[in-house]
Amino acid sequence: MDKIEFGLKLRKLREQKNLTQVEFAEMIDITDKALSRIEVGRVLPHLNTLVSMTEALNVSLEFLIQNKDKTEKDIYSAEINARLAEMNEFDIKHILGYIDFYLAQKEELKSSI
Protein backbone atom coordinates (compact mmCIF):
# COMPACT_ATOMS: atom_id res chain seq x y z
CA MET A 1 0.00 0.00 0.00
CA ASP A 2 1.49 3.30 -1.11
CA LYS A 3 1.38 5.91 1.69
CA ILE A 4 0.55 8.83 -0.60
CA GLU A 5 -2.22 6.98 -2.46
CA PHE A 6 -3.67 5.81 0.83
CA GLY A 7 -3.61 9.33 2.26
CA LEU A 8 -5.34 10.79 -0.78
CA LYS A 9 -8.00 8.10 -0.73
CA LEU A 10 -8.59 8.61 2.99
CA ARG A 11 -8.91 12.36 2.59
CA LYS A 12 -11.38 11.93 -0.28
CA LEU A 13 -13.52 9.53 1.76
CA ARG A 14 -13.42 11.86 4.79
CA GLU A 15 -14.46 14.83 2.67
CA GLN A 16 -17.30 12.81 1.11
CA LYS A 17 -18.65 12.41 4.65
CA ASN A 18 -18.32 16.20 5.15
CA LEU A 19 -15.96 15.69 8.07
CA THR A 20 -13.15 18.03 9.04
CA GLN A 21 -9.81 16.58 10.04
CA VAL A 22 -10.54 17.51 13.65
CA GLU A 23 -13.96 15.81 13.61
CA PHE A 24 -12.66 12.66 11.93
CA ALA A 25 -9.60 12.48 14.17
CA GLU A 26 -11.85 12.61 17.24
CA MET A 27 -14.02 9.83 15.82
CA ILE A 28 -11.03 7.52 15.33
CA ASP A 29 -9.27 8.53 18.53
CA ILE A 30 -6.12 10.12 17.11
CA THR A 31 -4.92 13.72 16.96
CA ASP A 32 -5.70 15.91 13.99
CA LYS A 33 -1.93 16.31 13.55
CA ALA A 34 -1.55 12.51 13.26
CA LEU A 35 -4.42 12.39 10.76
CA SER A 36 -2.77 15.14 8.73
CA ARG A 37 0.47 13.13 8.55
CA ILE A 38 -1.51 10.12 7.31
CA GLU A 39 -3.43 12.13 4.70
CA VAL A 40 -0.30 13.73 3.23
CA GLY A 41 1.36 10.34 2.96
CA ARG A 42 4.08 10.65 5.57
CA VAL A 43 2.97 7.65 7.62
CA LEU A 44 0.58 4.73 7.48
CA PRO A 45 -1.89 4.24 10.33
CA HIS A 46 -1.64 1.45 12.89
CA LEU A 47 -4.01 -1.48 12.47
CA ASN A 48 -6.34 -0.38 15.27
CA THR A 49 -6.58 3.06 13.66
CA LEU A 50 -7.35 1.44 10.29
CA VAL A 51 -10.19 -0.49 11.88
CA SER A 52 -11.55 2.69 13.47
CA MET A 53 -11.34 4.44 10.10
CA THR A 54 -13.35 1.72 8.36
CA GLU A 55 -16.05 1.91 11.01
CA ALA A 56 -16.24 5.72 10.91
CA LEU A 57 -16.32 5.82 7.10
CA ASN A 58 -18.59 2.77 6.76
CA VAL A 59 -16.25 1.02 4.32
CA SER A 60 -14.52 -2.32 4.41
CA LEU A 61 -10.87 -2.66 5.31
CA GLU A 62 -10.26 -4.18 1.88
CA PHE A 63 -11.80 -1.13 0.19
CA LEU A 64 -9.74 1.26 2.29
CA ILE A 65 -6.40 -0.38 1.57
CA GLN A 66 -7.16 -1.54 -2.00
CA ASN A 67 -4.35 -1.41 -4.54
CA LYS A 68 -4.48 1.14 -7.30
CA ASP A 69 -3.91 -1.72 -9.75
CA LYS A 70 -7.51 -2.76 -9.38
CA THR A 71 -10.07 -1.07 -11.59
CA GLU A 72 -12.70 1.21 -10.12
CA LYS A 73 -15.28 -1.45 -10.99
CA ASP A 74 -13.35 -3.99 -8.90
CA ILE A 75 -13.15 -1.55 -6.00
CA TYR A 76 -16.86 -0.72 -6.13
CA SER A 77 -17.79 -4.39 -6.50
CA ALA A 78 -15.74 -5.29 -3.42
CA GLU A 79 -17.38 -2.49 -1.44
CA ILE A 80 -20.87 -3.55 -2.53
CA ASN A 81 -20.10 -7.15 -1.52
CA ALA A 82 -18.82 -6.01 1.86
CA ARG A 83 -21.96 -4.01 2.52
CA LEU A 84 -24.26 -6.79 1.31
CA ALA A 85 -22.55 -9.20 3.69
CA GLU A 86 -23.78 -7.03 6.57
CA MET A 87 -27.42 -7.11 5.40
CA ASN A 88 -30.19 -9.60 6.05
CA GLU A 89 -31.98 -11.53 3.30
CA PHE A 90 -34.93 -9.11 3.15
CA ASP A 91 -32.63 -6.11 2.62
CA ILE A 92 -30.66 -7.92 -0.08
CA LYS A 93 -33.87 -8.80 -1.96
CA HIS A 94 -34.88 -5.14 -1.71
CA ILE A 95 -31.54 -4.00 -3.14
CA LEU A 96 -31.89 -6.54 -5.95
CA GLY A 97 -35.24 -4.95 -6.81
CA TYR A 98 -33.53 -1.56 -7.12
CA ILE A 99 -30.89 -3.06 -9.40
CA ASP A 100 -33.56 -4.66 -11.61
CA PHE A 101 -35.45 -1.35 -11.78
CA TYR A 102 -32.26 0.54 -12.66
CA LEU A 103 -31.33 -1.91 -15.42
CA ALA A 104 -34.85 -1.77 -16.90
CA GLN A 105 -34.79 2.03 -16.93
CA LYS A 106 -31.33 2.02 -18.48
CA GLU A 107 -32.48 -0.28 -21.30
CA GLU A 108 -35.60 1.82 -21.80
CA LEU A 109 -33.50 4.97 -22.14
CA LYS A 110 -31.17 3.28 -24.62
CA SER A 111 -34.05 2.17 -26.85
CA SER A 112 -35.60 5.66 -26.88
CA ILE A 113 -32.42 7.31 -28.18
pLDDT of residue 13: 92
Q: What is the pLDDT of residue 70?
A: 59
Residues 82 and 52 occupy one common structural domain: no
Query: What is the predicted pLDDT for the residue at 78?
Result: 75
Q: Are residues 54 and 74 in the same domain?
A: no
- Same domain? For 10 and 59 the reply is yes
Task: List pLDDT tens digits, range 37-96.
Answer: 999 999 999 999 999 999 999 998 988 887 655 566 776 787 788 889 889 999 999 999
Output the pLDDT for position 2. 81
pLDDT of residue 52: 97
**Quick one: 98 and 75 in the same domain?**
yes
56 and 18 within one domain: yes
Last residue of a domain, one of 53, 69, 85: 69
Range of the structural domain that residue 108 is part of = 70-113
90 and 47 belong to one structural domain: no
Q: What is the pLDDT of residue 48?
A: 96
DSSP string, 53-112: HHHHHT--HHHHH--TTS-HHHHHHHHHHHHHHTS-HHHHHHHHHHHHHHHHHHHHHHHH
Residues 28, 10 within the same domain? yes
pLDDT digits (tens, 9 = 90+) for 2-22: 888 899 899 989 999 999 999
Q: State whether 50 and 16 are in the same domain.
A: yes
Structure confidence at residue 113 as a pLDDT band (50, 70, 90): low
- Residues 94, 108, single domain; the answer is yes
The domain that holds 59 is classified in CATH as: 1.10.260.40
Mark whether 64 and 21 lie in a shared domain: yes
Question: Which pLDDT score is estimated for 85?
Answer: 87
